[in-house]
Amino acid sequence: MEKTQNKRSNVWNYFAQKGACVICKLCKAELVYGNSMGSMNNHLKLKHPIDHSNSSQRGQQMAMDNFVRPLVRQCPPSRVGEITDLIVDMVATDMLPLSFVDGPGFRGLMEFIEPAYNVPRRKSVTTRLEQRYNECVDKIKSELKEAHAVAITTDGWTALTTESYITITCHYIRNWTLQSVVLQTRAVDDRHTAFNLAEVLKTAADKWGICGKIVACVHDNASNITCANSHEFVEWESCPCFAHTLQLSISDGMKTANVDEVIPACNKLVAHFHHSTVATKALSKKQRRLKVPLHRLIQSCKTRWNSICEMFERLHEQRPAIFAVLGDRSVTKLADERKLALPDSHWRLIEDMIPVLKALKCATTVLSADINVTSSVIYPVVHGLQSKHLNSCDDDCPTVSEFKAAVSSSLNRRMFKGDMQRYITKFMKSSF
């Protein structure tokens, strides 16, 4: 009878009995209950200091509501603006789709972090992005106006949707520091003739106010863009990209008989592991068992520089694990092993080719730097390659010697055709 009377106390609005214990509804704390409410009262006074006097039930319920639904803190206008700007920055920096701000997950996160903040809709974010773009354009135009001379680089590419694009980047010196900004990436719907490409370049130069300041345009070795940058169409100098020239020379070297046979065989082997889930999981298990680095095999691609070197390096690293997978009949059929397994001659050639390919990869990486002017290192790099890395050694196998000779010959032909002094002048002008 006493227990029933005790439960009529308002203290029980905050506790639930569980056997010989009671649990606080506010903080889930568990207290020992011995038919006495002293511990519960003390807990409420220390942990939840509200009015626990024997007032009316309405007053107690209002106090309870204050705990269950705490007051939402206000979000001042200055903070609202800062949060919105950060959201716009996140969309721009991380290249997120505009629909991101309408997603229930993001809105749920913001409601938890800042309940009083109203997340802007897509249209509002779009307006702010356009405003941010215009501010950025004005800043770049102001800097370009102060520059005495600039150089541009351009490259055309095709998206997976077969849409053609061209990107133009501008390089200039400001406060003795090299600055690089992308002026535009735009679709090219017309035919990629020299005249049309030249018009795209001249239109961009006029839009950004750099007409008469461009001393050189660096581009790949395609005939149309090379012709577009001739004096027939433009006033600046044409500078073929040396890194691209080097890659073309490497491709010429890859056409030697034995190397040309190894690459397709390696691609076929790598493709098997990329397309077979069973083989991929088996490779991972073999890697752990043989204590080989847990790396995926790399597929070479004609349009990705140094990918053949990376494929050879990864195959050489994973050779024990690859052998183990191909030799496991529960994973690979005997007929598949015979089709995929590389002969010992291929493995030896891969190992012999790696040092020279790594040297060429290092040269390409140095020449592709975007924080330093690289034209001044072109000839030292060429000299180092020709005098050391592309110079045949006594330890080289016939195929490697043939590859080095082919790359060296192609590099000389592409680099020094015509008036060499003219090329030197072009490259030096691009570094101002």
Give yes or no for residue 419 having a pLDDT over 70.
no
Crossing angle between the packed helical segments 277-290 and 257-275, to the nearest 10 degrees: 100
Residues 6+ apart with CB under 8 A from 186: 165, 166, 200
* Average pLDDT of the residues in 281-304: 94
Residue 56 has a pLDDT of 43
Average pLDDT over residues 58-72: 50
Average pLDDT estimate for 411-422: 65
Give 431's pLDDT tier (boundaries 50, 70, 90).
very low
* Least reliable range by pLDDT among 137-141, 154-158, 165-169, 374-378: 374-378
CA distance 164 to 126: 25
pLDDT tier for residue 371 given thresholds of 50, 70 and 90: confident
CB atoms within 10 A of CB 37: 18
**According to the model, what pLDDT value does residue 218 have?**
92
In single-letter form, the type of residue at position 160 comes to L
Write down the pLDDT at residue 72.
55
- So what's the pLDDT on residue 8? 61
Q: What percent of the chain has pLDDT over 90?
A: 62
Name the pLDDT band for 26 (thresholds 50, 70, 90): confident
pLDDT higher for 58 or 101? 101
pLDDT on residue 29? 81
Q: How far apart are CA 260 and CA 66, in angstroms?
A: 77
Query: Has residue 53 got a pLDDT over 80?
Result: no
Write down the pLDDT at residue 27. 78
| pLDDT for the residue 272 | 96
User: Distance between CA atoms of 55 and 40, rounded to whole angstroms?
Assistant: 17
Q: What pLDDT digit, counting tens, does each position of 233-265 carry?
A: 999 999 888 899 999 999 999 998 789 899 999
Those residues whose C-beta lies under 8 Å from the C-beta of residue 154, and which sit 6 or more positions away, are: 166, 167, 168, 169, 201, 217, 218, 219, 225
Least confident of 32-36, 183-187, 202-206, 302-306: 32-36
Residue 290 has pLDDT above 70, yes or no: yes
pLDDT of residue 410: 92
pLDDT of residue 51: 46
Q: How confident is the model at residue 271 (pLDDT cuts 50, 70, 90)?
A: very high
User: Would you say 24 and 43 are in contact if contact means Cβ atoms under 8 Å apart?
Assistant: yes
Q: Are 245 and 414 in contact (CB under 8 A)?
A: yes
H runs (alpha helix) in 69-146: 77-93, 104-113, 122-146
